[in-house]
Amino acid sequence: MIDFNEKTKVFTLSTNNTTYAIGLLDNVLPIHIYWGKKLINPISENWKDRYYARSLSPLDYGKYSTNYLPLEFSPYGGGDSRVSSFSALYSDGSRVTKVKYKGYEITFGKPELEGLPATYAEKGDKVKTLTLTLVDELKNMEFLLYYSVFEEFDIITRSVKIINNGDTAKLHNVLGVNVDFFGAQSSDVIHLDGAWARERAVARNPIVPGNQSIESRIGASSAYHNPFIAVCERNATENRGDVYGLNLVYSGNFYAGVELNSYGCIRSYIGINPHEFEWILEKGRSFQTPEAILVYSDEGLSGMSRRFNKIIRKRVCRGKYRDAERFALINNWEATYFDFNEDKIVEIAKKAKEIGVDTMVLDDGWFGRRKDDTSGLGDWVEMPERLPNGIDGLCKKINDLDMRFGLWFEPEMVNPDSELFENHPDWIIHTKGREPSKTRGQYTLDLSRKDVCDYIVSAVGAILKKANIEYVKWDMNRYMSEVGSALLPAENQGEVMHRYILGLYSVLEQLTSKFPNVLFEACASGGSRYDCGILYYMPQVWTSDDTDAVERIKIQYGTSFVYPYSSMGAHVSACPNHQIGRTTPFDMRCNVAISGQFGFELDLNKCSKEEIETAKKAVENYHKWGEVFHKGDLYRLRSPFDTTTAVNQFISEDKQTVLVCIYPYSLIPNAPDDYIKLEGLEEDAIYEIDGKRFGGDYLMNMGIWHKNDLEYKTQIIEIKKVN
């Protein structure tokens, strides 16, 4: 619901449980008044009394200390010296932009963002959009600030469209979205950082005066940081306290952070990284910024995650597999690496079929000259030495086992040792006169070029047409360097990284709509590009190359801050673990992987009888519990970052089933008795655990008894509501 009060000049954006309010200061500047728990009473007309001129702060438009005001949009050039929402170089050499409010519009539903992924509304959703128009009259620039309110999801999304009606301008910063808070100085800032094999570790730090930021500069959202930031009360816990989260629907370079100024105002912001960004905007053209999803929760960090998880699951992910039960698969990568042929793959599939696995995925190595990871990328034609009957021949054999067939691609890359590179050396991201660096022996294809994008669509499409392929693992294994494009003129070279992402989105849009029956899974050396931009096209991501169960507890925990378990590819692999050498029990590996998109990444022919039995039981449980993990509500009860036992609790959509996943990964000898208090149950309902009955109030206030008496003794406890 969106309301504008003419008298108070306040826009009130309400969801079922939250309010976001914007006031028009003297009908000129949109001011951020409030974001938080739903307000019952209208905002008082006195909302503006508190703002006054601060010493030494330039007075914009003769009267406003914009350096201190909580502004909804703040371009560079006036008195506000904080991180700005926009900046440009104009044809007269000026870099100053100054905006005034011009008007508003409230519409039903949500407009699509041209060329960009974004949340969407479905028929029956209570979604409205507020558009505030701001103008720079001197430069003839218009800024449309979009606010879409998803009532039932308790979500607001924001983005900005920049329209140039004046002379050509060079955009330098199109960050777009910031939320300015007063009264939140004693807060923490949370983000997710890491590296390959340890993605999305939770980093929580006090907000201190000045600017604290995270970013990506490598052409993908990256494993270093995730395009997400949260501000929370210092004493907020998993399930208590105020939390404000911002997540960007974008897969490229981003910038996010918080800036606490000297007047107690925290500016939180998220958008495309201004670092080395440029975009030439000619007269009559517009630029659309990516969308930010904004979540407020008064139910702590888990509350924030439940809202993010739900909107992403239901209104970011799309297509046939959004709501469908996904696959229980086996992938040959860690079983064979490059040492495979058709017979070996069929043997692996046969054994997997015996335990109930329904999909065989053939990973890297099936194409071109791909003898190892130094050659072949770019040439998407079968290698006869490994696949004498082609992809269609192997696919048929897998289908004959009554299994689906899936295939790996890395379409955005090329090896110098490939036919594609020999024919098109200028198709890579590179800068004239400089030796392009290789990572894993490969270069990045220049997806800012239409001819390159067309090639990818047709080469991948040709293979997908050729056989009954029902799953694609879309890999991407390097970050960008020496960025430049052979096609663009010198003055447009600063556009390459954003153009690349737009190219990638157009390729994905074409392929996913041409092949609606294929389940696409994203991968970037594991989880190096795990973001809502990608999830819009591919509803699941290979969470990490690190398949060690202990490390995975942490990786999945951090990932769940924003992204639902239904989006996390999670497989059981062999021990000692190939990434870190640790040995964990087979049932622990199953218990950790089972809540994600479950599968195996090993040769089951090499497993013991007991392990096969455990694997079989895990597949059964996965089918029984998958809906609860993937569509239910997550309550993180204990964090692996500050306890020795991580605990996740899931409540099914119909509230009848509760699963408690207990993951001790560090043993306490002769451990003290432990009680795990549950969350989100019905106080007056009765629940049953292994035939024993407990009240919901008892389980939440006293908890379930747990003994940490054996190293790595993980458990999944099923609780059923009985009345």
Q: Look up residue 497 and give its DSSP letter.
A: H
> To the nearest whole angstrom, how small is the minimum distance from the Cβ of residue 18 to ligand DGJ?
38
Structure tokens at 254: 């981003």
3-state helix, strand, coil in the chain (%, to 5): 20, 35, 45
> To the nearest whole angstrom, how small is the minimum distance from the Cβ of residue 439 to ligand DGJ?
12
> To the nearest whole angstrom, how small is the minimum distance from the Cβ of residue 587 to ligand DGJ?
23
User: Which CB sits closer to ligand DGJ, 175 or 538?
Assistant: 538
> To the nearest whole angstrom, how small is the minimum distance from the Cβ of residue 577 to ligand DGJ?
14
User: Which CB sits closer to ligand DGJ, 226 or 648?
Assistant: 226
Residues 518-557 that bind ligand DGJ (CB under 6 A): 523, 525-526, 542, 545
Asked if 475 touches ligand DGJ (CB under 6 A), the answer is: yes
Tell me which of 80, 188, 475, 531 is the catalytic residue.
Answer: 475
User: Which CB sits closer to ligand DGJ, 199 or 238?
Assistant: 199
| Contacts with ligand DGJ, 220-259, as mask; x by CB under 6 A | ----------------------------------------
Cβ(484)–Cβ(433) below 8 Å: no
In angstroms, the first-to-last Cα distance of the chain is 35
> To the nearest whole angstrom, how small is the minimum distance from the Cβ of residue 25 to ligand DGJ?
51
Task: Tell me, yes or no, if 545 is annotated catalytic.
Answer: yes
How far is residue 459's CA from residue 461's CA, in Å, rounded to a whole number?
5
Q: Look up residue 135 and give its DSSP letter.
A: E
> To the nearest whole angstrom, how small is the minimum distance from the Cβ of residue 555 to ligand DGJ?
13
How many other β-carbons are positioned within 10 Å of the β-carbon of residue 57? 18
User: Which CB sits closer to ligand DGJ, 442 or 448?
Assistant: 442
How far is residue 334's CA from residue 323's CA, in Å, rounded to a whole number?
29
Task: Tell me, yes or no, if 193 is annotated catalytic.
Answer: no
Half-sphere exposure of 71 (CA within 13 A, CB side): 28
Is the Cα dihedral 495, 498, 504, 507 positive or negative? negative
User: Which CB sits closer to ligand DGJ, 148 or 359?
Assistant: 359
> To the nearest whole angstrom, how small is the minimum distance from the Cβ of residue 333 to ligand DGJ?
5
DSSP per-residue letters across 93-120: S------EEEEEEEEES-PPPTTS----
Number of H helices and E strands in the chain, helices first, is 12, 39
Candidate residues 15, 119, 477, 595; the one interacting with ligand DGJ per rule CB under 6 A: 477
How many residues form the binding site for ligand DGJ (CB under 6 A)?
11
| Contacts with ligand DGJ, 428-467, as mask; x by CB under 6 A | ----------------------------------------
Of 680, 647, 667, nearest to 710 (Cα)?
667
Q: What is the strand order of the sheet 210-215 is part of?
A: 177-182, 265-272, 254-260, 210-215
**Beta partners for residue 662, in sequence order:** 647, 715
Element (H, E) at 690: none
Give the E-state strand segments of 152-227 in sequence order: 155-164, 169-173, 177-182, 187-193, 201-206, 210-215
User: Which CB sits closer to ligand DGJ, 526 or 599?
Assistant: 526
Cβ-proximal residue to ligand DGJ, closest one: 364
User: Which CB sits closer to ligand DGJ, 436 or 441?
Assistant: 441
> To the nearest whole angstrom, how small is the minimum distance from the Cβ of residue 475 to ligand DGJ?
5
Tell me which of 545, 548, 633, 674 is the catalytic residue.
Answer: 545
| SS3 (DSSP) at 399 | helix
The size of the chain, in residues, is 723
User: Which CB sits closer to ligand DGJ, 446 or 546?
Assistant: 546
Residues 145-204 that bind ligand DGJ (CB under 6 A): none
Residues 323-382 that bind ligand DGJ (CB under 6 A): 333, 363-364
DSSP per-residue letters across 343-384: HHHHHHHHHHHHTT--EEEE-S-SBTT-SSTTB-TT--SB-T
Which residues are identified as catalytic?
A: 475, 545
Binding site for ligand DGJ (CB under 6 A): 333, 363-364, 408, 475, 477, 523, 525-526, 542, 545
